[in-house]
Amino acid sequence: MLALIVVWCGLWVALVVRTPLLANPFHVVGRLQGDELAHSTVLLLAGIAPLAISMVGGLVMVLLVFGWEWARLERRYHDLVQRLNGNGAPAGGAGASKKGEQGWTRSPTA
Query: Which one is predicted more confidently, 110 or 16?
Result: 16
Predicted confidence at residue 96, as pLDDT, reads: 46
Dist CA 13 CA 89 (whole Å): 49
Say if CB 76 and CB 91 are below 8 A apart: no
Query: Which one is predicted more confidently, 6 or 102?
Result: 6
Predicted confidence at residue 99, as pLDDT, reads: 47
pLDDT tens for each residue of 23-69: 777 888 888 888 888 888 888 888 888 788 888 888 888 888 888 88
Predicted confidence at residue 83, as pLDDT, reads: 86
Residue 79: CB atoms within 10 Å = 20
pLDDT tens for each residue of 58-109: 888 888 888 888 888 888 888 888 888 887 655 555 544 444 445 555 555 5
Dist CA 29 CA 18 (whole Å): 17
Hey, what's the torsion of the CAs at 19, 22, 24, 29, to 10 degrees?
Answer: 110
Query: Which one is predicted more confidently, 1 or 20?
Result: 20
Say if CB 106 and CB 85 are below 8 A apart: no
Over residues 2-13, the mean pLDDT reads 80
Dist CA 15 CA 61 (whole Å): 24
